[in-house]
Amino acid sequence: MTRKIPVFFLVFLLFFATARTAEAMHITEGILPFQWFVTWFAVSAPFVGIGMYQVKRKKRTIPSYLPMVGLLGAAVFVFSCFPIPVIALSGMATSHPCGTGMSAVLLGPFVSVLVAAIALLIQALFLAHGGLTTLGGNVFSMGILGSFSGYFAFKMAQRCRLPLFWCGFLAGMISDIFTYLGTSLELGLLVINGGGSFVKATTEIFAAFMMTSQGILCLVEGAVVGFVMVFIYKRRPGILLNLGVIKNEAKSMGT
């Protein structure tokens, strides 16, 4: 009897056999067919446009806003290059965080989408991670889903009066999960043309991500973002106040 090997087994095998650094959240150039390349660009464009409008509007009232967004974007970009050892693979592999949860909390979701789009463009051109035709798809998963889910998770946690660490933790973790969910969804949609089951393919790919280094990475990124927030709050609470992350220092949450 022929038993089909599940997709997640193949992904697992490849993670072990090839890359020490798992960087699976970007869809590589050439994978998306023409119709999906156009569709994802169309879906992502309005969000990037709103982000651009917000930056432009704020730049008029606060002239130093643009350098600040650029530098914070660069900081988040560097943060996303941190090699995090993956405990599930006994340190055999390292992975890197998305960083969109943190940028959404610091800059707001729309500006974070714009920053993610630019970071993805830089990565596609100068690191060969991702691609230009897959830029729309990657912006959707990492920029839009990652930023909005992280932002709302943070705000919800704040409303529930959770300590700042847990607010950051939830933002980092949930944005990561949604990023991988988005990537799985985009890859799952590809099987529709071949007559395959979209739900099955998406579930298998998402399970593959979560069962390898990326599942643990979500928790780790959450913890790192939590520590980042607490560290900034302890050292320079004014930054969080200026960026509107916390409302009032006197009323702010415990760490």
Partner 1 sequence: MKFLHHTFSDLYARQDNWLTRIDVRIKMLYVTLLLSLNVWTKNATVPLFFLFVSFLLLFTIKIPFTAIIRNMSLPIVFAMLIFLVKSLHEGKQVWLSISILGYNLAFRGEGIWSGLHVCSKILGGVSLLMLFSFTTTIGRLCTGLTWFRIPNTVIELLAFMYRYSFLLLDEASTMWTAQKSRLGHVSWKKTIHSLGILGGLLVIRAFDRAERTHDAMCARGYEGGGILTIPLPPWGKKEYISCIGMVLIIPILVYIGNMRLC
CA distance 85 to 106: 25
84 binds partner 1 per the rule CB under 8 A: yes
Task: Give the torsion sign (CA, 212, 218, 221, 226).
Answer: negative
Of 43, 74, 241, 253, which lies in the binding site for partner 1, with binding defined by CB under 8 A?
A: 74
Q: How far is the CB of 35 from partner 1 (least distance, A)?
A: 10
Near partner 1 in 226-245, by CB under 8 A: 226-232, 235-236, 239
Q: Which residue has the tokens 């156009």?
A: 38
Near partner 1 in 126-185, by CB under 8 A: 126-129, 131-133
Q: How far is the CB of 247 from partner 1 (least distance, A)?
A: 19
Total interface residues for partner 1 by CB under 8 A: 80
73 binds partner 1 per the rule CB under 8 A: yes
Exposure class string for 64-99: b at 16+ Cβ within 10 A, else e:
ebeebbeebbeebbebbeeebebeebeeebbbbbbb
79 binds partner 1 per the rule CB under 8 A: yes
119 binds partner 1 per the rule CB under 8 A: yes
- In 15-143, where do the E strands start and end? 21-22, 84-85, 94-95
The smaller minimum CB distance to partner 1, of residues 106 and 142, is found at 106
Of 153, 174, 217, 224, which lies in the binding site for partner 1, with binding defined by CB under 8 A?
A: 224
The smaller minimum CB distance to partner 1, of residues 63 and 159, is found at 63
The smaller minimum CB distance to partner 1, of residues 131 and 174, is found at 131
37 binds partner 1 per the rule CB under 8 A: yes
Q: How far is the CB of 156 from partner 1 (least distance, A)?
A: 22
Stretch that binds partner 1, among 26-34, 136-144, 149-157, 246-254 (CB under 8 A): 26-34
- The torsion angles phi and psi of 233, rounded to 5 degrees, stand at -60, -40
88 binds partner 1 per the rule CB under 8 A: no
210 binds partner 1 per the rule CB under 8 A: no
Task: Give the torsion sign (CA, 129, 135, 138, 143).
Answer: positive
The smaller minimum CB distance to partner 1, of residues 114 and 145, is found at 114
What's the Cα-to-Cα distance from 49 to each of 42, 56, 152, rounded to whole Å?
A: 11, 10, 20
Q: Are 27 and 183 in contact (CB under 8 A)?
A: yes
Q: Are 249 and 187 in contact (CB under 8 A)?
A: no
Q: Are 16 and 92 in contact (CB under 8 A)?
A: yes
Beta bridge partners of 94: 21, 85
217 binds partner 1 per the rule CB under 8 A: no
199 binds partner 1 per the rule CB under 8 A: no
Q: How far is the CB of 58 from partner 1 (least distance, A)?
A: 10
